Amino acid sequence: MVASEQALVTGKQLDTLSINTIRTLAIDAVQQANSGHPGAPMGLAPVTYCLWQEFLRYDPEDPKWLNRDRFVLSNGHASMLLYAMLHLSGVREVAENGEVLKELAVPMEEIKRFRQLGSRTPGHPESYVTTGVETTTGPLGQGVGNSLGMAIGSKWLAANFNRPNFEVFSYNIYAMCSDGDLMEGIGGEAASLAGHLKLSNLCWIYDHNNITLDGPANWSFSEDVATRFIGYGWNVTRVADANDLEMLGRAFEVFQKTTDRPTLIIVDTHIGYGSPNKQDTNAAHGEPLGEEEVRLVKKFYGWPEDAKFLVPEGVREHFHDGIGKRGHDARAQWVKMFAEYSQKYPELADRLHRMERRQLPDAWDKKLPTFPADAKGVATRESSGKVLNALAENIPWLIGGSADLATSNKTTLKFQGAGDFQAGSYAGRNLHFGVREHVMGASVNGLTVSGIRAFGATFFNFSDYMRASIRLAALMEAPSIFIYTHDSIGVGEDGPTHQPIEQLASLRAMPNLIVLRPGDANEVVEAWKIIAQLQHQPVVLVLTRQALPTFDRTKFGAASGTAKGAYILADAPGGKPDVILMGTGSEVSLCVEAYEKLKAEGIQARVVSMPSWEIFERQDAAYKESVFPPAVTARVSVEMASTFGWERYVGLKGRKIGMHRFGASAPLKDLLKFFGFTADAVVAEARKAIADK
């Protein structure tokens, strides 16, 4: 046997050894945790190995390299597959300050602590827990939705930052997905939009294993996926056996050579031993194999049956010589190129530096509008549109769009050079998501974790379609921006299907989410200042369709009080009110009307505008008590939504004016009178609150 043949045999042996190491690490971790899904990592190990070892442009020594390829495990239940790859590839830990440390992101002790409290190896991948996890996945479909946003982000970054002879951005996005990801509606939305936009940098790897948690996939799923994706405008290729590394390599090569559309690689896998003839029921249904089955599996792999968490000699070195060396060399070339780029284009390099650290440009808040006092006023969606355009002109990486409602949401960026993001023209800052609220939310998250400040907009009632994405943004500590207009029964004739009731209360219940409902145009300006400076929290901005009075700030409290979440807008003489009226959004002006009427009757009231409960709760006790003195127990809340939660501020004796049913279809004035949102109704409740104290 000649030396080259010997090397080939040794190489194939190392391939098999490495793949089986991935499999057995997953098996052992699941077995030790007595919880998890061993099947998908067993079946997909060769696919992931081939991708990472031969094609993924990624340097384990710098997992935050700007031009790295992104790998998304949308079928997040296969998390041990990713943890094994991070461990064997030697991916380094990154500190909170961005410093790359010498320690591994996933050392062996963390693999042994799979699914345990405080480990870096939770049951589903969490980006804020584990370095190397690009985005939090778990709810099926969210990962592929994120991958769409990442692919849009890559194209946008390339179009805006690349210059002749300086290809700063050219990275691809690989998303591994399951039958479940393709069953979920969000998967279809993502595929449809990706095909429309011709995102040639996006590759989905479909684990076609014919199994779901309940049993055979054909119990519920029998469509021709290949034909469906061809219809979406994708390039589709198939690998009939997941163990065929040569065919897998060809499929990835086809993707990399395809320049006019996204690619779907359908890979036929077999849950169990990695053999077409072996399938294990426990593995298929997301349970540990059991000790006896583990021994049988290891015997099949030619593995020491009693060995646990074994990484054979030569495996780590093999990964180091593969993805490690390729990634190191690719990054070294890029770093050299970027140093020259930084000298030639210092402004662009500075922009990237700030984006990476979620910092703002100098003078980011210049020329923000201010709004004069106006009894007729303006809808907060209108004032928001003006502020958004001013901010986006100052912050070149603030981009976004709407679910086919940009004209209504007032989210179109209209300044010179804003442009539209379209197939083949990727520099534009206006994104057109179409009627696809689910994937709009996931895409905004994908863009945000790519360093871009992104927003998505629709009607507030349709935030229900986006809850999973909002929740994951909060979980990931990603500063995604969700803009919602048509915030109440103020929608009028559109009726109860479009009139949000419980949405404010339910979103306020979500940890690490800021809800902002400004009460006039100048509160909108202050709200956007808060949003621009967020680094680790998503925000929901809730806006009206109907006009609201713009308060005369020479008579009333300064709008800058918005920064504290709640503030005194109007007060009693000497700061000693008989009753406190509090509200958000459009109902603040109702409180002010009632305040004036009570004043005429000799009743001293205080009006508190509360644009954000979450921000108010961060204030110290002294400030909170200055707004809500404990001695003043006569209190009334006014909000055109569910009253759930207002007892926190009105107390047990307070009164709550709100919605206790779904809305109705009628002109706004009729609805306000019917549901009791009038100044007279507020006055009546204030009198009752005073009498009850």
Catalytic residues: 437
Residues 191, 183: Cα–Cα separation, whole Å: 12
- Identify the sign of the CA torsion 303, 304, 307, 313: negative
End-to-end CA distance of the chain: 97
Closest listed residue to residue 56, CA positions, set 207, 249, 242: 249
Question: Are 532 and 360 contacting, i.e. CB atoms less than 8 angstroms apart?
Answer: yes
Residues 381, 546: Cα–Cα separation, whole Å: 9
Residues 439, 528: Cα–Cα separation, whole Å: 24
Question: Are 374 and 549 contacting, i.e. CB atoms less than 8 angstroms apart?
Answer: yes
The CB density around residue 224, as the number of other CB atoms within 10 Å, is 9
Phi, then psi, of 116 in degrees rounded to 5: -105, 155
Tokens, residue 434: 């179409």
Which residues, at least 6 apart from 283, have a Cβ–Cβ distance to it below 8 Å?
Answer: 37, 38, 39, 42, 271, 272, 289
Residues 428, 315: Cα–Cα separation, whole Å: 45
Residues 472, 511: Cα–Cα separation, whole Å: 11
375 burial (CB, 10 Å; 0-12 / 13-18 / 19+) is exposed
Q: Please give the full DSSP string across 457-468, using - where no structure is assigned.
A: EEEGGGGGGGHH
Question: Are 546 and 586 contacting, i.e. CB atoms less than 8 angstroms apart?
Answer: yes
Residues 372, 561: Cα–Cα separation, whole Å: 17
Residues 615, 510: Cα–Cα separation, whole Å: 14
